Structure 1
Amino acid sequence: MDDDSRKDSLEQRTEIPLAVASLVFLASYAVRVLAHGLPDGWRDLCLAVTLTVWAMFAVDYAVRWRLSGQRLRFLATHWLDTVVLVLPLLRPLRVVKVHEAVRRRGGRPRLSLQARVIVYAGLSTALLGFTGALAVYQQERAAPHATMRTFGDAVWWTCATLATVGYGDIAPVTPLGRLIAAGIMACGLALLGAVTGSFSSWLLQVFAREDDARPPGS
């Protein structure tokens, strides 16, 4: 078995377990951020779980890099994997690949391109909104002059930011909070563009089929 076949086999075997691990990572991080009165022992346990899962991601990335034989080109061809290794809170964004893997294992047909884009954008928006709200809230909750005092404030701000509305009633004041905000803004624009483009493409296909179905001269 060559390296490419071994890498593909490894990805198929580990995709779902690592997706579950990513949800465990997100849950442990959320507990540490939101459970203010959590005993130190439980906080340490959540931190240990978070670091252990991240180590699993790092090992998986290193093994696939080694099997690919691409060296530095692996960083460009697997840019999403590289990003989620550096920012593991984004790992749940790979959930669409898991959805496709489950459908294939169940013998069900793949969704159309437009449906996959819409599913991906919807799931990505929900996951990105939750993780973004957690990350910003962690930075802002104790900052002087912060307007984001509760997690509800963070969720409201994230929804407004992803929707490109930007009411301005709540805004991050810390440098790291603003950096996270810039990333959320960029992702919001990208997701909005993807959904809009996919929907427009679907409408064009519908209209084209209607035109083809019309009798000549009608």
Structure 2
Amino acid sequence: MDDDSRTQRWERWAALPLAGASLLYLACYAVHVLAPALPRPVHLALRSLQLATWALFVADYGVRWRLSGTGWRFVPRHWLDTVVVLLPLMRPVRLVRTYEAVERRRGRPRLPLQARVIVYAGLSAVLLGFAGALAVYQQERTAPHATIRTFGDSVWWTCATLATVGYGDVAPVTPWGRTVAVGLMACGLALLGAVTGSFSSLLLQRFAREGDRDAAGPPG
């Protein structure tokens, strides 16, 4: 059995467990950020769960690296996976691949390519936006002269940033908050471009099919 087949089998087998671990990581981080008044042992338990799930991400990365048989070339070829391992808060974005892995088990995807891109982009925006809002809120809530004081402010700012609107009524002032902002801006532009391009392609294909039917005329 070749390396590609082994890698695909591993990815299909690990997709659902890793998706659950990703949601658990995000849930632990959300509770840690949104409920700072919880007892210290609870926060230590949440940190321990986050560390355990991150260890699973690292193990998955190592297994796929080994199965690829490409050595260090695996890193640039799978740059998103590398970023996710280094920044595990972005791991929930990988959840969008769970649908693809499940559909592979059924033989073929049910949605056309353009529709899948739109669905993936929408899920990515929601997950990335929630994670980004948590990260910015954690950095900004106690900063001097901060305008993001509540989680609601952070969610509003995140939505405006991902939508590339940028009202400017609230904005991060800390270095780490602004670093997250730059990442969200880049992701927002990429997701918006993916959705717009896929939707335009889907419309053009449908118009082309209707044009072909009109040109063919009614059936004789």
Fold-level similarity (TM above 0.5): yes
Give the equivalent residue in structure 2 for 1:26: 26
Paired letter, 2:80: L
Is 1:26–1:89's contact at 8 Å kept on the other side of the alignment?
A: yes
CA contact (8 A) 1:100 1:110 kept: no
Q: TM-score, normalised by structure 1?
A: 0.95
Could you tell me which residue of structure 2 aligns to residue 15 of structure 1?
15
Alignment of 1:7-86 (within 5 A): 7-86=7-86
- Judge which range, 106-115 or 23-32, deviates more: 106-115
- 1:174-217 Cα offsets, whole Å, 9 max, x none, are 01100100000000000001111011111111111111111469
Greater mean deviation of Cα atoms: 3-12 or 159-168: 3-12
TM-score w.r.t. length of structure 2: 0.94
1:183 partner letter: G
Which residue in 1 is equivalent to 2:135? 135
Report the equivalent of 1:181: 181
Given residue 84 of structure 1, which amino acid in structure 2 is its aligned partner? V
**1:30-70 Cα shifts (integer Å, max 9, x gaps):** 11100021100000000000011101111111121122111
SS in 1 for 2:71: coil
d(CA) in 1 for partners of 2:173 and 2:149?
Answer: 12
- Judge conservation of contact 1:104–1:110 (CA < 8 Å) in 2: no
Q: Which runs of 5+ in 1 are unaligned?
A: none
- Secondary structure, aligned partner of 1:72: helix
Structure 1 residue 113 corresponds to structure 2 residue 113? yes
Q: What letter is aligned with 1:167? A: Y
2: distance between equivalents of 1:41 and 1:4? 44
Q: Secondary structure at the match of 1:195?
A: helix
The unaligned stretches of length 5 or more in structure 2 are: none
One-letter code of the match for 1:40?
R
- Residue 157 of structure 1 corresponds to which residue in structure 2? 157
Matched residue SS, 1:197: helix
Q: Secondary structure at the match of 2:146?
A: coil
What's the CA shift for 1:2? 4.0
Question: For the Cα contact (< 8 Å) 1:84–1:91, is it kept in 2?
Answer: yes
Which stretches of structure 1, 4 residues or longer, exceed 6 Å deviation after superposition?
A: none
Size of the aligned set, in residue pairs, is 218
Q: Displacement of 1:103 after TM fit?
A: 2.8
Counterpart of 1:124, as a letter, is S
1:171 to 2:171 alignment: yes
Q: Does 1:100 align with 2:100?
A: yes
Query: Residues of 1 paired with 2:41 and 2:65: CA distance?
Result: 36
Shift of the alpha carbon at 1:7? Answer: 2.3
Aligned residues of 2:11 and 2:101 also touching (Cα < 8 A): no
Shift of 1:104: 3.5
Instruction: Give the Cα–Cα distance (whole angstroms) in 2 for the partners of residues 143 and 83 of structure 1.
Output: 27
What residue in structure 2 maps to residue 207 of structure 1?
A: 207
Alpha-carbon distance between aligned partners in 2 of 1:67 and 1:106, rounded to the nearest angstrom: 24
1:193 aligns with 2:187: no
Aligned equivalents of 2:58, 2:6: Cα separation in 1: 18
Equivalent-residue separation in structure 2 for 1:70 and 1:101 (angstroms): 23
Deviation of the 1:26 alpha carbon = 0.4
Question: What is the RMSD computed on CA atoms of the aligned residues?
Answer: 1.7
Q: Which amino acid aligns with 2:20?
A: V
Deviates more, 1:120-129 or 1:76-85: 76-85
Distance 2:167 2:112 in 1: 36
